[in-house]
Amino acid sequence: MLTLAALARQPEYFLHPLDTAVSGDRVVDRAELLTPCDRPARPSGTLLVCSSDTIDIGQARAWLRHLAEQGAAGLVLASDAPAPAQGPLLEAARHAALPLFASGAPVATWRHTLISRITELRRQATDRHAVRLAHLLDHLGNDSAPAGDLLDWLARELDAEVSLQLPTAVLPAAGGTFTSTHPLRDNDRLLTARRHHPFSASDRDLLARSATVLTIRRRTSVPAGDTVLAETLHAVRLAAFQALMTGHIEPAQRILGPLSPYLLDTDDVQIAIIDCAGTSRDETFARAETLLCDTGFAVRCPAFDGHIIIVVPHHDPNLPEAPAVTALRPLAADRSHRLSLGISPTLPLEDTATGYALAHDAIATARISPTRAAVAPRTPGLLDALDPPTAQQWATTLLQPVLNQRSAKQQLSTVTLGLEFDVSAASRILGIHRNTLSRRIHTTLRATGLATDRTADRITLSLALQIHALHGPATDPFPHPAPTLAHLLAQPPVTHWATAALAPLNQECTDQRTTRGDTLARTLRTWTHQDFRVDTTAQRLNLYPATVRGHLHTSEALLGWMLLSNLPTGPLPDDEDAPGKQSGLRNLAAALQAAPGTPRTALPDPTGEFRRGPV
């Protein structure tokens, strides 16, 4: 966890508190610029940065109190030569108990460099804490080592004096020192740490978990139901998984290394997702771990309550799938458990996020498969039909404004997942704040010339990101003439794919009054023209909204694409008419544009407006 005190120790921020009594223990999740006309909607955990003239002194007391009540981490007054805060402003900050800092870095430096750096510092702090928890598990497994070894290790990690003491022997903190304690269960002693700077939340968490390890090691065996130990194990594995999902391979290997050495020492992996449906996820999780036998690792999905995510190394290219995946199949085949198993194809380790999205897509097929398991194709039908060089050139042209940015690959991988799922779900899977992910998506849309408030524009960006992930960047992003999306979707393989994909709509349906194929096709075209809004589609067709929803659900069953249905584990979006997973909408929009003989629904394509040259 990144704290104010840790941030103040970073020299490039030139931070110093304007109130010496302020606590530096507050956690910083992100930083945002504060302007007179753009106030943060959700300041919780946010370090707000502004110049001193941004704040109306007359309104400062009420406004700073509001920010503090909303959980803001603190307020930074940025300037080339920071002057002492005005008395009323400092008094207002004290009254609101909101940490107030001055920074010698100007607002422009914060905007272009320091704010984005805070996100990276927070990730590094989270990685460090996960590594410490993993090393703590080594001490748990070494029953023969004396307790002093654990105390010495903890003292080095916390940079503190660490000891076991009776409560009566713990002295209050003297001036300039800080003390943190945690009791040992079934014992009258306290695990005590003392040092000359404050303890962060992650430090106190490590101390508490170390106390649990010391308690467990005093027993003859580790109880199977020890929830604290189980939570620690899961926290380490989840941190490793989320590092993989954001493209941080080496941190993931370091995090998981002490717990499962060499497990991630692999080039290729498969991702599997178990949809538990109505079955107990904890019971299924225990069965899955038994079947894995340390050949993969499982985590409970942080976004969907019914999902278990499994990462499985695939070492042998001669095998069609990893042995651990084969071992999981009987779990789904047992129909008494009502499970479904979605499996990704074998992918490079750095493409874990792509594998997760593909495994998620495969769940829908698995639910209707006789074996209750399904492997997603490496390239979905649309991507497989596109001409690779032409698609590569178009996608690189569209994405060029963001490809040259620092950490572009990791940024685009998170945006890709954020477009595939609801932002709240994607942020929990990735382990980043939903506001951060939403901001990345909006920034990428604006940079590529697309609108931030239209689903059709998101589909265009999503298609470009899928092509880029599959083929990489083009060597010449600005060929003459440059391909357009319309040209890309008009090529014969794509029109053949579109015709075959939409063919089920031509079949006669049971209810001839409302669900004839031509009726469904008309509803789908209108829904797409109305940017996937049910209410305006109903008005345009002079139908009830419930009738439009019925047409869309019927079309889902015929086409095999998730259009309006909620994700497999139930509703996350508040809007019942929110479109479903992006892959289904992407297929539908492209098919309606590419299929011959249908009224065209052209996706937005700003590539023709881009300058033909390096950006």
Domain boundary among the residues 58, 84, 105 is at 105
State the CATH number of the domain containing residue 340: 3.30.70.270
Angstrom distance (rounded) from CA 4 to CA 26: 6
Give 469-474 contacts, CB < 8 A, sequence gap 24+.
469/351, 469/354, 469/412, 469/413, 469/416, 470/379, 470/383, 471/388, 471/391, 471/392, 471/395, 472/392, 473/392, 473/396, 473/399, 473/403, 474/389, 474/392, 474/393, 474/395, 474/396, 474/397
pLDDT at 210: 84
Pairing of strands 340-343, 297-300: unpaired
Residues 58 and 176 in one domain: no
Kindly state whether residue 123 falls inside one of the protein's structural domains.
Answer: no
pLDDT at 571: 35
Residues 426 and 312 in one domain: no
State the CATH number of the domain containing residue 48: 3.40.1390.20
Domain range for residue 323? 266-378
Residues 23 and 154 in one domain: no
Domain boundary among the residues 193, 222, 251 is at 222
Angstrom distance (rounded) from CA 429 to CA 425: 6
Asked if residues 139 and 150 have their Cβ atoms less than 8 Å apart, the reply is yes
Asked if residues 466 and 354 have their Cβ atoms less than 8 Å apart, the reply is no
Residues 391 and 434 in one domain: yes
Asked if residues 402 and 447 have their Cβ atoms less than 8 Å apart, the reply is yes
Q: Annotate 482-548 with three-state secondary structure.
A: CCCHHHHHCCHHHHHHHHHHHHHHHCCCCCCCCCCHHHHHHHHHHHHHCCCCHHHHHHHHCCCHHHH
Residues 330 and 469 in one domain: no
Number of domains making up the chain:
4
Q: Which residues of the chain have pLDDT under 70?
A: 1, 20-25, 36-43, 80-86, 140-147, 168-176, 185-188, 216-229, 378-380, 406-407, 476-480, 507-517, 565-581, 598-601, 608-615
* Widest distance between CA atoms in the chain: 86
Angstrom distance (rounded) from CA 154 to CA 142: 15
Kindly state whether residue 244 falls inside one of the protein's structural domains.
Answer: no
Q: What count of Cα atoms within 13 Å lies in the side-chain half-sphere of residue 199?
A: 26
Kindly state whether residue 559 falls inside one of the protein's structural domains.
Answer: yes
Residues 421 and 465 in one domain: yes
pLDDT at 266: 87
Domain boundary among the residues 378, 411, 444 is at 378
Kindly state whether residue 428 falls inside one of the protein's structural domains.
Answer: yes
Kindly state whether residue 117 falls inside one of the protein's structural domains.
Answer: no
The H or E element spanning position 47 is strand 46-50
Kindly state whether residue 228 falls inside one of the protein's structural domains.
Answer: no
Residue 481 preceded by cis peptide, ω within 30: yes
Helices (H) and strands (E) in the chain, counts: 24, 14
Asked if residues 74 and 13 have their Cβ atoms less than 8 Å apart, the reply is no
Residues 317 and 422 in one domain: no
Residues 503 and 441 in one domain: yes
Kindly state whether residue 252 falls inside one of the protein's structural domains.
Answer: no
Kindly state whether residue 247 falls inside one of the protein's structural domains.
Answer: no
Residues 531 and 576 in one domain: yes
Residues 568 and 436 in one domain: yes
**Could you please report the per-residue DSSP string of 174-226?**
-TT-EEEEEEPTTSS-EEEEEESSPPPHHHHHHHHHHHHHHHHHTSSS--TT-
Residues 316 and 420 in one domain: no
Beta strands in 397-460 (DSSP E): none
Residues 390 and 372 in one domain: no
